Chain A
C-alpha cells in the first residue's frame, strides 16, 4: 500500500487542516467514494452513537491522555461528528484527518503506533478504574502521585514530567555523535532536535537511551521494562513541549518518540523469555524483507440488515467480529467493509546475527522484525543494522477453528528505531569507533597491557605462535595490523594520505608464508584471502552483474573493496597475471579503486592493507640475484610496499635445533597447555581493535627531527655515489611505521623510540631485500628503479665503451650489428650478452649518437 493509498491521504491531511470541513473531492478511488457518500448519509441518522463499542466501554479521556495513539477524533470535538463517519476515512490512519481549526497538540492528528500497540487492549481495560482519576491528575497535579499504570510502577504524570525535564535540560557536551551536525553541544540537545522537527517537519524524535540513563536511571529502567506504556507517555510529553514552543507548527501527525541504543544491547543469541515485552537493541544483518503488508488496524463493520456501522480495533492481531448487531440485535449480520477499515503499512524483515557475534561451529540465528509505517522499506537485505524495538511472543494457533494451541510462541520484534551500522562507511567516516564496544574491564586490561615495557615484543610473539621465529617479520605484520594514522590533506590538494602499511613476503617455498597469511586473515575482522593464481582483476576489484530478476545492473565488489579497512592477503602474488597486478597500483597508493564498466563509472574506497606472499621465480631463492630478479615483480609495484621481507631458510645449526624442539612440542602438547603459553588470540584482537579506533598518534617535535635525519641519511647513502636512492615514498613509509609503533604503545605522540624502531625495521627489511648481491651493499635504488646502482653504472660504462669503439672505427656511416657485437665482445673483459649490448645501443640512441634500423647501425 506504499503509495496509492497513503500518499494521497497524507496530502489530504495537510490540506484538511486548513480547510474545514474537508470535502471528499480528493478522488483517487471513485468507486469507494461513492459508497462513502452513501455511508455518510446513512450513518448520519445514527449520530447519537458515534463511537465504536470498545471506545465507549472506557473513559475516552483517560485512554487518550495515556495513549496518544488511539485515534483522537472520536471525542476531540463534538461539532466534528460529521468527520467521524465522514467519507474521508479511507486507508491508512494518517488519513484520519480532523479538520480542527486550531493547530497545536490537539489539532495535529495522532498517528497510531502499531509498533507499540499490539497488546495494548488488555492493559487498557485494566486501566479503566484509574482512568477518571488520571484525568484529574492531568489538571491537578497534587492528587495523582501514587497512581500507576496497572501492572507496572509507572506513574504517568511523574513520568511525563521527568521526561519533559530531560528534554529541556539534557546537555552532554562531550558526547559527539555523527548525527549531531549543526548542533550546539552546550545547549539542551533535544530542544534543538525539536526545533529541527519544527523546521524539517519530520515528526520523529530519536532519543538516545544512554542519555536518558545518565539523566535519570529510574526513568530509563521504566522505559526498558514497560516500553509499551512509557513511550506513549514520552510522546505526550514531547508533543506538549513542542506545541507549547511552536504553537503554529504544522506537522503531518504528532511527534513520535523513538528511543534507540537501549543499553540492554544484546546479542541475538542471548535473547530469552525474560526479554519479552521489553525494549531491546540488537544488532544484525538484514537477510530478507517482505513485500509490504497492509495490516488492518481497525475494522469497519456494517450490519446487513439495518446498516448500522461499527468499528473494531485490532487486538493482539485479531479482529473480534461482532456477532450481534447492537442496533437491531440481528445475529451474524455484521459484514466487514474493507474500504472503510483502517490499515497501516507493515513489513516483515528477517534479521540474522552478525557474523562476529556467532560462536564458532554454530549456524547463525535469525529473528523476525516487524516494521511499521515509516520504517517500512528503510533497510535492504545485506544491511547491517542496530534495531531497537519491543520483543514480542505470540502463541500460534494450530488452526483458527480448533482450540488446541501449538505450545510454541512465535517471536518477533516490533521495530521502533533502526540504525544502520555501515551506512556511514559509505560516507567515509571511520566507523570503527562504532564497531566494537569494549567493557570497562576489558579496556582496563588492555591499558594495563599497554604499559608493559615489552608489549611490542609480547604482541609480536603472540602473533602466529605456531610459526617459528621470524620475529622481525611478525613485528612488521604487527605494525601493519595497527596501521598508521589517517591524515586528510584534501584541502591542500593532496587527498588522503595512505595510512595502511603494505608488506610483501617473499622466500623459499615451505617457509610458512601461507600460514602467516592465513593467520592474519583469521585475526582481522575484515580480512580477505585470495590466491594470486585463482584471482582475476575482476575478482579483486569489482564487477558488474545483471540481476537475473530485476534485469538491473548491480555492482558486485571484489576482495579489495571488501577488505576496505581491513587486510587483503594475497598468496602466490608472483603467479598473478600482469593485468591483475596492475589493478593494485591504484589501490596501494591512492587507496581507491576506479571502475568504468558497463556504464557504471565510480570510485570505490579500498583502504586495504596488502599482505602479499610471493615465491622466487626459480622457486628456490637464488642468493646471487637481487630481489627484483628473484621475484620479477615490476618495481613500480615493489616500491609501494613499505616492507619487503625475505623468508629464507637460515642454514644454521642452532636455529635448526630450536626449530626441531618447537615442532616436536607441537606434536605432543595438549591443547589446553598450548593456549596457556601465549597471549589469547581474542585479547590480541581486542588490543588491535582498541588501538585502531581510539589511538591516533601524531608526530612529536623530536620524532619529526629524527625522521628528517633518517631520511637525509638515506638520501646521503645514495648521493655518495652520485645518484638518488631514497624517495619521499620511503619517508612516508617510515612515518607510517613510526605511527603504528606508537599505536602499539597506546601513545598519542610519536616519539623518538618509535622512529628508531621504524628505522630499524625498515633497515632490516631493506637489508634483506635491497642488498646488491654483487657488492653486498644495501641499495635502495634496487627497489625504486629495479636495477642496482652498480648495474646501472656498468650499463653506462658499457655504453661509453661502445661509443669509443664506434668512434675508433672512423668515419664509416653504418655498421653491421653482429660485427659490432663481436668487436665489443673481443674488446671487453666481461661477458657481454646480447641484451646488454642492445641496452648500450639504446642508451646511445637516446643520446642521438646513432640509430638502429634492422641489422645495421647508423651514425648520426
Chain B
C-alpha cells in the first residue's frame, strides 16, 4: 500500500506537495487539513496510525504521522513562527520558498541561508499544549486500544512499528541510517552536542548498542539520568506513578476551543529532532551574545524545551475533543452518523439483561448488598450535565459507609471498579498522605508552568476515596488545604488552582465514591450504609474469583453500558412534573421536618439516573416511585444504623 505509506510515513512531503501547488496563496493550509481529514475518514484509517500511547517514542519514525490520546495538562504561551520563509543560496542567489508549519526547525540546505527580511515571509501563530496521557487510564483501555491498533498496523507493512521483538533490529538500523546523517549535517565538530545526543535522543544511539538497556530505560518512566547531572525532569503527571510519554502538542487551528483538562485525540507529525534539546546546553556556550538567551531561567528552559526524546513534539494536523476514552465505543457519538446510531440502538435492545448482570456482579462485589449495588450503578453513570450558576447538576457522590475495615475490602472493590470504568484513581486517605501529597495544581513561576496535582483529572474520572485507613492525627496547613479542596471538589465540582497571587477556578466533572466506616468527614450527596450479607473468609480469593467468573465479552458489555448511558439525554414530561409536585407537597404535609428541598434534589437525581440506567430518556411514574422507594430504603437503613449506634453509646 504505497499510498498509505506516503501520508503515514512522510506527511511532510505531502504537505510540501500541496504547498508547492498553491504556494503563495494561503489556501494550502486548508487543503492540507482537508487532505488528511479525507484520508483518515477511510475505513479504519485511524487505526493504521501508530499511537504514542502504545508505542514507545523511539520506535516511531521521526516526522511520521502519529496519534496521541491525551489530556491537556498545561497551556504554554503562543508561539510566533515562520509560516512561510525564503532561503537564499549565497552563491547562486537562487531563492526558494518553504513552509514552516508542522515543523520545529526551519529547513535549510547546507549551502543556503534563511532570508529573515524577505517580504515573502509570513509570520503565523501556534499554540503549545503540554499534554499527558489521560491520568488514571485503566489498563484495559490501553490494552484494547492497543489491540485494535496493532491488528491494523500489521496489515500495513510500511508502518514502522510492530511489537514483535525480532523485527525491531531492522527498524533501528533504518533509524540509525536516518539520524546520524542528519546530525552530521547540522552540527559538525561539536563535542558537547554529542553528549547531548546521548542524553537527549538517547533512544536511537543507545538502542543499537544496547538493546536491553534501552528496554528498561524506556519502561522505567523516562528517568534518564543526563550526563550533565541535572536532576531528572519532572514530567508533571497529575497522579503519582504514572507512565507514558508527555508531549508538547502544537496546535495550529482553533486552540481557543480547548481547555485545560480536556481529553483530546490528536493526529499530527511527530518531531523528535535532537536540535530541539540544544537550548539547554547553550548556557555553557558563553560566546553566544544573543541577549534572548538570558531571557528565561534555566528551569523554564528545561520545562519548555525538554529533550525531544523524553517529551516529543507533535505538530497537530487534526485534533478533536473526546467525549469519552472508552475504546469499545465509537469515538464520536453524534446522531448524524448512521453507524453510531446503529451501535447505540443495538446495544439498547439488550440493555436490561446487561443491567441485571451488572447489578448481580456488583451485588456480589458489595458482599451481597443489592441496594448498595443499585446505588453504585447510579453513581457510576452520573455525570455533571449542566451548571446552574454555581450549582453543578448531575453529580452524585456516594458515601459507602460501613465498609469492613480489616479485609482490604475497599482495595478490592476499587480493583473491580477499575475494570469497569475507563479512568479511575484510588485515593487512600491517611494523615500522612493528606499532609504530604499535592492535591491542588499550582503555578510554578520560576519554571513558568502549572505543576500538576492529584485533583487535576479529566472529566468522568472515578475517584475512589478510601477513608477506612484514616487514623486520628493532626493535619498541617497543607493537609487542611487538601481536605478543603476535596470538599470543594465534591460539593461544587471545581478545583481552585493556586496561582500564587490569586486562585483560579477550574470546573471539573469527577465521580467521587467515598468508602468509610462511619459517616465520611467529607460531604457527599448520598450516604449508603453497607449491609454485608456474607463475609468471605478470604477477601482476595473471593474478589478475584468474582472477576474471573465474568466472561470478557460480558465485562466489555458492562464497560459499554457505563460509558454509553452517561452520554444520553434526559427529560421530564409536564405530566410527571405535576405528579412529582403533588408527591412532594404530600410528603411535606405528612412530615415537614424530614422532607426538605435537599431531599427532593436527591430523589430527582436518583430518578434521573434510575431512568437512564434502564435506558429510558424520560422519567416515568414508575421510575419516580421506584426512586422514592430506594431513597426510603436507604434512609431507613441510616436511621437503623443511628439507632444501633445510639444503643451502643
A-side residues, CB < 8 A to B, are: 122, 271-273, 276, 285, 287-288, 290, 293, 295-296, 317-319, 346, 348, 350, 355, 358-368, 381-382, 393-412, 464-466, 468, 510-512, 515, 518-519, 522, 534, 649, 651, 653, 656-657, 659-661, 663-671, 674, 681
**A688: min CB distance to chain B, Å:** 15
Kindly state the separation between the CA atoms of A288 and B443 in the bound complex, as whole angstroms: 12
Kindly state the separation between the CA atoms of A222 and B394 in the bound complex, as whole angstroms: 55
Interchain Cβ contacts under 8 Å between A and B, 6 examples: A355-B502, A403-B113, A407-B82, A465-B388, A518-B492, A667-B570
Let me know if A653 and B289 touch, CB within 8 A. Answer: no
**B531: min CB distance to chain A, Å:** 27
State whether the Cβ of B227 lies closer than 8 Å to any Cβ in chain A: no
Contact with A along B120-157 (1 / 0, CB 8 A): 00011100000000000000000000000000000000
Let me know if B393 and A667 touch, CB within 8 A. Answer: yes
For the complex with contacts A288-B448, A400-B288, A407-B81, 7 further pairs of A-B residues with Cβ separation under 8 Å are: A295-B291, A348-B295, A350-B445, A361-B506, A365-B75, A366-B77, A400-B287
Kindly state the separation between the CA atoms of A674 and B502 in the bound complex, as whole angstroms: 30
Kindly state the separation between the CA atoms of A214 and B123 in the bound complex, as whole angstroms: 33
Kindly state the separation between the CA atoms of A539 and B124 in the bound complex, as whole angstroms: 47
Stretch at the interface among B203-211, B510-518, B585-593: B585-593
Let me know if B445 and A273 touch, CB within 8 A. Answer: no
Let me know if A522 and B108 touch, CB within 8 A. Answer: no
Let me know if B100 and A355 touch, CB within 8 A. Answer: no
State whether the Cβ of B225 lies closer than 8 Å to any Cβ in chain A: no
From residue 590 to 623 of chain B, which have CB atoms closer than 8 A to chain A?
592, 596-598, 600-601, 604-605, 608, 619
Kindly state the separation between the CA atoms of A360 and B497 in the bound complex, as whole angstroms: 12
Q: Which of B75, B278, B294, B390 contacts A398 (CB 8 A)?
A: B278
Q: Which residues of B contact A661 (CB under 8 A)?
A: 577, 581
Kindly state the separation between the CA atoms of A25 and B228 in the bound complex, as whole angstroms: 48
Q: Which residues of B contact A362 (CB under 8 A)?
A: 75, 259-260
Kindly state the separation between the CA atoms of A318 and B104 in the bound complex, as whole angstroms: 23
State whether the Cβ of B550 lies closer than 8 Å to any Cβ in chain A: no
Q: Which residues of B contact A663 (CB under 8 A)?
A: 597, 600-601, 604
Q: Which of B125, B445, B581 contacts A664 (CB 8 A)?
A: B581
Let me know if B74 and A408 touch, CB within 8 A. Answer: no
**B338: min CB distance to chain A, Å:** 24
Let me know if B390 and A674 touch, CB within 8 A. Answer: no
Kindly state the separation between the CA atoms of A518 and B491 in the bound complex, as whole angstroms: 11
Q: Say whether, besides A653-B585, A657-B581, A668-B572, A534 and B480 are in contact (CB < 8 Å).
A: yes
State whether the Cβ of B256 lies closer than 8 Å to any Cβ in chain A: yes
Let me know if B289 and A319 touch, CB within 8 A. Answer: yes
Q: Say whether, besides A405-B106, A664-B572, A367 and B77 are in contact (CB < 8 Å).
A: yes
From residue 493 to 544 of chain B, which have CB atoms closer than 8 A to chain A?
499-502, 504-507
Let me know if B608 and A651 touch, CB within 8 A. Answer: no
State whether the Cβ of B645 lies closer than 8 Å to any Cβ in chain A: no
Q: Which of B259, B260, B501, B598 contacts A382 (CB 8 A)?
A: B501
Of residues A122, A396, A664, which shows the largest number of chain B Cβ atoms within 10 Å of its Cβ? A664
Let me know if A403 and B114 touch, CB within 8 A. Answer: yes
A395 nearest in chain B by CB position? B116
Q: Which of A296, A405, A468, A666 contacts B105 (CB 8 A)?
A: A405
Q: Which residues of B contact A355 (CB under 8 A)?
A: 499, 502, 504
Kindly state the separation between the CA atoms of A358 and B125 in the bound complex, as whole angstroms: 19
Kindly state the separation between the CA atoms of A510 and B186 in the bound complex, as whole angstroms: 69
Let me know if B388 and A660 touch, CB within 8 A. Answer: no
State whether the Cβ of B580 lies closer than 8 Å to any Cβ in chain A: yes
Kindly state the separation between the CA atoms of A654 and B297 in the bound complex, as whole angstroms: 65
Let me know if B295 and A368 touch, CB within 8 A. Answer: yes
Q: Say whether, besides A273-B125, A668-B570, A671-B386, A407 and B289 are in contact (CB < 8 Å).
A: no
Let me know if A396 and B292 touch, CB within 8 A. Answer: yes
Kindly state the separation between the CA atoms of A359 and B505 in the bound complex, as whole angstroms: 11
Q: Which residues of A contact B276 (CB under 8 A)?
A: 406
Q: Which residues of A contact B116 (CB under 8 A)?
A: 395, 405
Let me know if B292 and A660 touch, CB within 8 A. Answer: no
Q: Which residues of A contact B186 (CB under 8 A)?
A: 402, 404
Let me know if B278 and A510 touch, CB within 8 A. Answer: no
Let me know if A664 and B604 touch, CB within 8 A. Answer: yes
Let me know if A407 and B501 touch, CB within 8 A. Answer: no
A658 nearest in chain B by CB position? B581
State whether the Cβ of B79 lies closer than 8 Å to any Cβ in chain A: yes
Q: Say whether, besides A382-B501, A663-B600, A122 and B389 are in contact (CB < 8 Å).
A: no
Kindly state the separation between the CA atoms of A273 and B82 in the bound complex, as whole angstroms: 10
Let me know if A510 and B581 touch, CB within 8 A. Answer: no
Q: Say whether, besides A348-B294, A393-B80, A287 and B389 are in contact (CB < 8 Å).
A: no
Q: Which residues of B contact A660 (CB under 8 A)?
A: 580-581, 583-585, 600
Let me know if A408 and B390 touch, CB within 8 A. Answer: no
Q: Which residues of B contact A407 (CB under 8 A)?
A: 81-82, 85, 100, 103-106
From residue 543 to 573 of chain B, which have CB atoms closer than 8 A to chain A?
570-572
A518 nearest in chain B by CB position? B390
Q: Which residues of B contact A393 (CB under 8 A)?
A: 80, 123
Let me know if B445 and A288 touch, CB within 8 A. Answer: yes
Let me know if B584 and A657 touch, CB within 8 A. Answer: yes
**B282: min CB distance to chain A, Å:** 8
Q: Say whether, besides A397-B290, A412-B295, A465 and B445 are in contact (CB < 8 Å).
A: no
Kindly state the separation between the CA atoms of A599 and B592 in the bound complex, as whole angstroms: 57
Let me know if A404 and B287 touch, CB within 8 A. Answer: no
Q: Say whether, besides A406-B105, A515-B390, A366 and B570 are in contact (CB < 8 Å).
A: no
B598 nearest in chain A by CB position? A510
State whether the Cβ of B446 lies closer than 8 Å to any Cβ in chain A: yes
Kindly state the separation between the CA atoms of A556 and B278 in the bound complex, as whole angstroms: 41
Kindly state the separation between the CA atoms of A464 and B287 in the bound complex, as whole angstroms: 62
A678 nearest in chain B by CB position? B389
Kindly state the separation between the CA atoms of A403 and B116 in the bound complex, as whole angstroms: 12
**B185: min CB distance to chain A, Å:** 9
From residue 2 to 18 of chain B, which have CB atoms closer than 8 A to chain A?
none
Let me know if A273 and B80 touch, CB within 8 A. Answer: yes
Let me know if A363 and B75 touch, CB within 8 A. Answer: yes
From residue 135 to 194 of chain B, which have CB atoms closer than 8 A to chain A?
186-187, 190
Kindly state the separation between the CA atoms of A293 and B605 in the bound complex, as whole angstroms: 61
Q: Which residues of B contact A468 (CB under 8 A)?
A: 597
Let me know if B390 and A522 touch, CB within 8 A. Answer: yes
**B547: min CB distance to chain A, Å:** 35
A659 nearest in chain B by CB position? B597
Let me know if A400 and B285 touch, CB within 8 A. Answer: yes
Kindly state the separation between the CA atoms of A409 and B295 in the bound complex, as whole angstroms: 13
B255 nearest in chain A by CB position? A362
Q: Say whether, besides A273-B123, A403-B114, A398 and B389 are in contact (CB < 8 Å).
A: no
Q: Say whether, besides A361-B507, A400-B287, A534-B484, A510 and B585 are in contact (CB < 8 Å).
A: no
Q: Which of A287, A403, A534, A667 contacts B501 (CB 8 A)?
A: A287
Kindly state the separation between the CA atoms of A348 and B291 in the bound complex, as whole angstroms: 10
State whether the Cβ of B450 lies closer than 8 Å to any Cβ in chain A: yes
State whether the Cβ of B346 lies closer than 8 Å to any Cβ in chain A: no
Contact with A along B292-315 (1 / 0, CB 8 A): 101110000000000000000000
Of residues B75, B261, B282, B597, which shows the largest number of chain A Cβ atoms within 10 Å of its Cβ? B597
Let me know if B584 and A366 touch, CB within 8 A. Answer: no
State whether the Cβ of B472 lies closer than 8 Å to any Cβ in chain A: no
Q: Which residues of B contact A401 (CB under 8 A)?
A: 190
Let me know if B504 and A358 touch, CB within 8 A. Answer: yes
**A779: min CB distance to chain B, Å:** 28
Kindly state the separation between the CA atoms of A388 and B292 in the bound complex, as whole angstroms: 20
B113 nearest in chain A by CB position? A403
Q: Which residues of B contact A319 (CB under 8 A)?
A: 289
Kindly state the separation between the CA atoms of A70 and B202 in the bound complex, as whole angstroms: 50
Let me know if A122 and B105 touch, CB within 8 A. Answer: no
Q: Which residues of B contact A649 (CB under 8 A)?
A: 592, 596
Q: Which residues of B contact A296 (CB under 8 A)?
A: 289
Kindly state the separation between the CA atoms of A407 and B250 in the bound complex, as whole angstroms: 13
Let me know if B596 and A406 touch, CB within 8 A. Answer: no
Kindly state the separation between the CA atoms of A660 and B492 in the bound complex, as whole angstroms: 22
Q: Say whether, besides A359-B256, A399-B187, A666-B388, A364 and B499 are in contact (CB < 8 Å).
A: yes
From residue 467 to 482 of chain B, which have CB atoms closer than 8 A to chain A?
480
